[in-house]
Amino acid sequence: MQIGSRPITGSTPPYVIAEIGVNHDGSPQRALQLTELALRGGDGGAGAEAVKFQLFEADRLMSRDAKLAAYQKAAGERDPLEMLRRLELSIESLAPCVQRAHELGKHAIVSVFSVEMVEIAEQLPWDAYKAASPDIVNRPLLEAMAKAGEKDGKPLILSAGAATLQEVGRACTWLRGARDRLAVLQCVSSYPTPMEQAELGGIAAIADIFDGIVGYSDHTDSERTGAMAVAAGAAILEKHMTYDRGAKGPDHAASLEPEDFRKYRAYARIAKRYEQDPRAKPYIDSFLSMEQEVAAYELVARMRERQEQQPKVKRVLPIEEDVRRVSRQSVVTRRAMPAGHVLTRSDLTIKRPGTGIAAFEMESVVGRTLARDVEGDGVVMWEDLA
């Protein structure tokens, strides 16, 4: 697989993505500042290969049944719709970030959260698309992003947090037409993820069913988890980056500041170098001292020994159940409709939460008759249908 002109294989250094997400706090100026910090190699920069942003419109994404995840409540949020409205960035606001990434010779990636937003995303020259973990069951959105990248061969990266191995396999089947430009990232959807529940064995489990690029989307608060993921087989790493871990907002606490992010990338590259030749002598990294790098080599050797003992399983952890429920998307009504109405595609959309009929079953709902009156902008349940 290739992003821009950068090949990603089992033998290349890990491709490290700085997930900006919503850590810009809804400020276009801060988004551009974070782009600079993430991609610059010196002067306090993190040295990432790419930045990733999220493109959404709160009212398209959240139904009236939407709820906050527990980690969002813990961060001080009170209303899911208000939170996302505050954190939205328009496609026009993201344009300078994409331009700056390319000026620096790096890449810009976007996660799109609604089918209707894919066409809007295409206004900018993104280097790859990314599907967030909750959308592993959102077949219409996955297929729309895959199609959007088809003309220019843009990759699609799929995160697999809070998903079973069966759900990963099903999504890969939906995307088999994009097989040569598809990557799958093991992930634990908990913010932050405790180190003892990083589930790095899921990388090998995914590799057993998907003959392509596999990586790790990292929500731990450690600088060294990326190195452990590389030892477990990850070719792509994604990690949240922020300007201040203590800032108010849902994702700052599960992120790294630029200096620590640069260490994260350095440890990951050392892990790859060790994997290729355990006898190679350490050399001074652009960020680590010789003493730090020697210590890192010793650390990676211990990591690799521990990693070989990890169970190679992909499972949904109890700490992921909350995000799985509130952040996946369901079939939702566009308007109030009476019992006896035969549903058409125009009557329905896909929004959060994931407590109703799953997004991938949209076509099974079209043509069904309502068994009772339904309100607008609410999730559709099987018991609503005759």
Of 265, 203, 196, 264, nearest to 229 by C-alpha is: 203
Given this model, what pLDDT does residue 284 score? 45
**61 close to 351: Cβ distance less than 8 angstroms:** yes
- Would you kindly state where each structural domain of the chain is located, as residue ranges? 2-307, 329-384
Phi, psi dihedrals of residue 341, rounded to the nearest 5°:
-70, 135
Given this model, what pLDDT does residue 45 score? 85
Given this model, what pLDDT does residue 286 score? 52
What pTM value is reported for the model? 0.93
Given this model, what pLDDT does residue 276 score? 76
Given this model, what pLDDT does residue 310 score? 73
Given this model, what pLDDT does residue 307 score? 65
Asked, as a colleague might, if the bond just before 192 is cis with ω within 30 of 0, I would say: yes
Fold of 329-384: Type Iii Antifreeze Protein Isoform Hplc 12 (3.90.1210)
The rounded distance, in Å, linking the Cα atoms of 31 and 24 is 5
Question: Which one-letter amino acid corresponds to residue 179?
Answer: R
Show pLDDT as tens, one digit a residue, over the chain (386 residues): 999 999 999 899 999 999 999 999 999 999 999 999 999 976 778 999 999 999 999 999 999 999 999 889 988 899 998 999 999 999 999 999 999 999 999 999 999 999 999 999 999 999 999 999 999 999 999 999 999 999 899 999 999 999 999 999 999 999 999 999 999 999 999 999 999 999 999 999 999 999 999 999 999 999 989 988 998 999 999 999 999 999 998 999 999 999 999 989 988 988 888 777 766 655 545 566 667 666 766 777 776 666 667 788 999 999 999 999 999 999 999 999 999 999 999 999 999 999 999 999 999 999 999 999 999 999 999 999 99
- Residues with Cβ < 8 Å from 300, sequence gap 6 or more? 227, 231, 267, 270, 271, 274
- Homologous superfamily of the 2-307 domain (CATH): Aldolase class I (3.20.20.70)
Given this model, what pLDDT does residue 289 score? 67
